[in-house]
Chains A and B, each alone.
Chain A
Amino acid sequence: AQSVTQLGSHVSVSEGALVLLRCNYSSSVPPYLFWYVQYPNQGLQLLLKYTSAATLVKGINGFEAEFKKSETSFHLTKPSAHMSDAAEYFCAVSLIQGAQKLVFGQGTRLTINP
C-alpha cells in the first residue's frame, strides 16, 4: 500500500525567503504525485502534479517540485515566499492515473513572517 509522509506539520519562513516543504512517499509501482493547497475555509486547489513526464514540475503561483525516484521524494519549493502563500499544503499520491483514489500526507501549515 502506498503512503505519504510530510516532514514538518508547521513551517515558518520570512517573506522573500525560500520555501521548502518536504514530501516522501512509498509505493510499489511508479506513482502519480500531487501537491494541493488549502486556503482558510476553502477546498483544495491543485498546485502541480507529476505524471511520469518531466521530473521537474512547475505549478501555479511560482511553485515547483522535483520527483526523485532514488529518494522517493517530491519536495515542493518556491524561491521567494509571499504573504499570500500562507496556507496548508498537502502532498498526495495515486497509483492510478485517473486519481480516483488519493492517499494524502498529514499536511504542512506554512506561515509567512513579514
Chain B
Amino acid sequence: EAQVTQNPRYLITVTGKKLTVTCSQNMNHEYMSWYRQDPGLGLRQIYYSMNVEVTDKGDVPEGYKVSRKEKRNFPLILESPSPNQTSLYFCASSFNRDRGPTEAFFGQGTRLTVV
C-alpha cells in the first residue's frame, strides 16, 4: 500500500529536550515536505526536499532542522523545542520521476506538545 508513515503519532516533551519525528514514504517520490497545522492558520510549510541531500526552507523554518540522506526518509529535528512549537505536524511526499507529477500524499500526522 502506498503510504507516508510518520512516527510517533503523539509526543509530549519538555522545553529544550531534543526530539526527532521520522517520516518515510514507499512511493519512490522525489519531493518530501514538512508542514505544521495550527488552528485558523491552515498548514504552513516548514522545510522541503527535492532530492537526496537537497533541502530548502519553507515559510516557517525557525527552530527546525531536516535531513535527506536517503530518498525514502525525511526526519524533522527539533534541537531545542519550545512551547510555541506545540502543533500538529504533517509529512508529505510527491512526484515520481517515472510516473510524472503527482499530488502530495500526507502522513497521518504527529501531535506534538511541548511543556
Contact = CB atoms under 8 A, between A and B. Distances in A.
21 contacts: A34-B103, A42-B108, A43-B107, A45-B106, A46-B105, A90-B43, A92-B43, A98-B94, A98-B101, A98-B102, A99-B94, A100-B50, A100-B94, A100-B104, A101-B58, A102-B33, A102-B45, A104-B44, A106-B40, A106-B41, A107-B42
Contacts of A82: none
Contacts of B103: 34, 46, 49, 99
Interface residues of B, number: 29
Given A42-B108, A44-B90, A46-B103, A101 B33 contact: yes
Nearest to B38: A106
Interface of B: 4, 30-33, 35, 40-45, 48, 50, 58-59, 90, 92, 94-95, 101-109
Interface of A: 4, 6, 9, 34, 36, 41-46, 49, 51, 90, 92, 97-107
